[in-house]
Chains A and B, each alone.
Chain A
């Protein structure tokens, strides 16, 4: 297999005319990704003890999959959940994006700060907070309503696909905001001005010009969020697992990590394989929409801004909308998590509850274990971003600057991790490390395994940012260096890197924040040694100590507060 790879590598580098020493670095993550997905697909065609001579190659898994009424229910749940998620995220994110960019609302920085904070907070925290708020039995709103109206069960129920989608939508609204704010900012103002000078009213212009122009980008954002909704793990796991409400990701998890009995890999692998196909189709559609939307954009120069609509008396309504979202989507759940961290058991917030306040959760915490989680998380945050930057730089350089046809392959390969659900990637990495490479390389249970998967997972993030930054750097700036006698290495060092520095810094900060908040991959791949803080939070939560989980969450937020501030400042800066 190794032999084959080198010849393929050789062929591809030949197509680059042997001019690029960057190629092997660019190809490495893709080869690992193909290996992970390959193993996953391979397992989906096996029954029995996989990877051994006892394994049987069959289509049985796929037959079981679509014949099983439970799996069909899971699929139905997943669809409902993803739809609900997308709907909520867009209904909140789009209007706020439009208000921020196209009206006179001020200070805009505040809106950006509120929305980007939402991007930084791990969704698990929000899921936990909302469990404390609206869980059928323990949620304080339900408890209040039950006692007020003398009910036997709580009237509000979030442990269902629609409810979980609602919470997931709240956590993804900032993403919808970020994806669409771009469109409203880069839209050519002359197009709207032309409509106005043609005698169209504000409303007509909005309906006939602005929205149709924004449509491909909005549709792209919709597909993007829907794909996330199909695959996401955090919130369905935190809220749904205890009530036996399963979606795709939690189903795969519960099969691979059953509370009792042997893990079942074949059927979840079959489901995951099907899911990859769906995601690939959706992603191709997404890319098409994105390309279409880019046609409508203008590259903005300084002081080139779309006209802003005076808000007038609508100002209060706009702020009310934004603040309401901020409160229920972020502030309230986090406040509740903080509140529960100081209580020995779940108690609705009240003045009486304050009397129960204590540090007991912190005192009885397994500090050695938490310390290990902290150390691993910090290590990951330090190691993963530079590796991603290095590889993404190589990929982007070749994609943007090379003339060879192989660049299309690279572009596709770098985008592929987007389409592979994290659950699939993690389980694939688990299977690969346990059953294939274990004899040569005992990587399972080590931090290195997490590093590999994290890097592959967020390479598209880096290549996307660097691609667009490199495209904006006029090719002639680089050519001027060559004709001035600079070698390629020097051109990179003296011209390209300094020009790309802002983008690289922001990719660095953002990927380290993504690492900080990542739970899914860790949950699938941790053992005692390579545990991370989010995984510890998850562990405590599922083992029935929600207050301890809340206490660790508070620690996590405090420990990384400085980084959150940096990330927040960067989000504000990258706006300009």
Chain B
């Protein structure tokens, strides 16, 4: 096989005991990660993504299934052959940065090399640390106490520390969620660059779909302990297999309807023809979904047409684009238009419905 599988997760299961009884955090997950891929686990909080990551790190013991890293079984619930985190060839970046407050920048990054299981000869430590610090653009700050650094800089230290041992797998647990919005954008681009430069296979956990779409080579959407979709960002965005993924990734309008005939659905938008990719029986309830940018607005003209007419209830200016909320008799529809639009709040408009780009969910 040409593609080299670095992390292989098979039938992973993990249960927790909570106040309200046992919680099945991860339910039989299978996941293969190919060398040098940047894989993002995306999902709402409590979906099991962090638990999966921590099982790969060895910080949690699974209740079922097995995990392999670079061809070695590191944990399997059946055989109980557990390799503790310190013996695994990994690097990890934590949500809280977890830089050690009693050590300075250099000491934080060098400790894995001097005291860890993947230590290197003494004369190489300094070079390796400097190389890492340069990669995260912290060269020159090596003697600073970490507590003096900003959040973004601390996160860079954490990243340098995670890659300094040149691990086979880099694990990141919501590393950007503690940064402010502007910094997050910046770091996002840089993270991808660093991971590519370091040439490391990455497993990245986030609840932010924007982050997932921009960072991942592959995205793995999770909910309630299960993987719902695994694919490239384009696939996940364009072809959500179910309502949950459609709702979670990107913005989407949902309209309830009923199948009224072959290829037609009756909804608040009227009875219209859609391209059916599956077979539906007449009378079946379905949900229509369409992204705001696939809709557009038109001024109401005298001529009667099939397009639904509504009133603009809110207009949110975003700079490069404008979001309109259109109040129809029964529902509200969000439309994304270009920034130079002249429509105003309170105006009556026609919504132009396209032929393509509709999703139909049962």
Contacts and interface: CB of A to CB of B under 8 A. Distances in A.
Interface string B63-101: 000000000000000000000111110111011101111
B117 A476 contact: no
B115 to A, nearest CB: 5
Given A476-B95, A479-B92, A499-B101, A484 B165 contact: yes
Interface string B157-169: 0100110010000
Interface string A466-494: 00000000101101111111111010001
B90 A483 contact: yes
Given A480-B92, A486-B111, A487-B117, A499 B85 contact: no
Contact of A494 (B95, B111, B119): B111
A476 B98 contact: yes
Given A476-B94, A479-B59, A483-B57, A498 B102 contact: yes
B105 interface: no
Interface centre among B58, B87, B92, B119 (most CB of A within 10 A): B92
Contacts of B158: 480
Interface string A497-508: 011000000000
A476 B96 CA distance: 7
B220 to A, nearest CB: 21
B116 interface: yes
Contacts of A483: 57-59, 85-86, 88, 90-92, 162, 171
A490 to B, nearest CB: 5
A474 B173 CA distance: 15
Contacts of A476: 94-96, 98
A501 to B, nearest CB: 8
Contacts of B95: 476
B85 A474 contact: no
Interface string B99-117: 1111000000001100111
Contact of A474 (B98, B102, B111, B115): B98
Contact of A485 (B94, B99, B112, B171): B112
Contacts of B291: none
B112 to A, nearest CB: 4
Given A474-B96, A474-B98, A479-B59, A484 B84 contact: no
B332 interface: no
In the complex, which range does the number of interface residues on chain A fall in?
Answer: 10 to 19
A495 interface: yes
Interface in B158-194: 158, 161-162, 165, 171
A476 B99 CA distance: 9
B117 A485 contact: yes
B169 to A, nearest CB: 10
Nearest to B107: A494
Contacts of A477: 98, 100-101
A114 B306 CA distance: 85
Contact of B84 (A482, A490, A495, A499): A482
Nearest to A478: B98
A476 B162 CA distance: 13
Nearest to A501: B102
Contacts of A479: 57, 59, 85, 92, 94, 98
Contacts of B88: 483
Contacts of B96: 474, 476
Nearest to A497: B102
A36 B67 CA distance: 49
In the complex, which range does the number of interface residues on chain B fall in?
Answer: 20 to 34
Given A479-B92, A494-B111, A486 B100 contact: no
B98 A482 contact: no
A61 to B, nearest CB: 43
B116 A486 contact: yes
Contact of B115 (A480, A488, A494, A499): A494
A132 B151 CA distance: 62
B98 A485 contact: no
A488 B115 CA distance: 11
B59 A490 contact: no
Nearest to A483: B92
A476 B155 CA distance: 13
B28 interface: no
Given A483-B92, A484-B161, A490 B100 contact: no
B315 interface: no
A486 B90 CA distance: 12
A337 B236 CA distance: 83
A495 B98 CA distance: 11
Nearest to A493: B115
B116 A485 contact: yes
Contact of A482 (B86, B111, B119, B161): B86
B294 interface: no
B24 interface: no
B118 interface: yes
B59 A484 contact: no
Interface in A379-399: none
A571 B90 CA distance: 43
B84 A485 contact: no
Contacts of A488: 86
Contact of A486 (B58, B99, B115): B115
Contacts of B116: 484-486
A136 B119 CA distance: 75
A381 B162 CA distance: 44
Contact of B161 (A480, A494, A498): A480
B54 to A, nearest CB: 8
A494 B92 CA distance: 18
Interface in B283-311: none
Contact of A490 (B101, B115, B118, B165): B115
A461 B57 CA distance: 36
A315 B118 CA distance: 62
Contacts of B99: 480
Interface in B125-173: 158, 161-162, 165, 171
A401 to B, nearest CB: 12
Contacts of A486: 86, 111-112, 115-117
Nearest to B87: A485
B161 to A, nearest CB: 6
15 contacts: A476-B94, A479-B98, A480-B100, A480-B158, A480-B161, A482-B85, A482-B86, A483-B91, A483-B162, A484-B111, A485-B165, A486-B111, A486-B117, A490-B115, A499-B102
Interface of B: 57-59, 84-88, 90-92, 94-96, 98-102, 111-112, 115-119, 158, 161-162, 165, 171
Given A479-B98, A482-B84, A483-B91, 4 more contacts: A474-B98, A481-B86, A484-B86, A486-B115
- Top 3 closest pairs, chain A to chain B, by CB: A485-B116, A484-B112, A476-B98
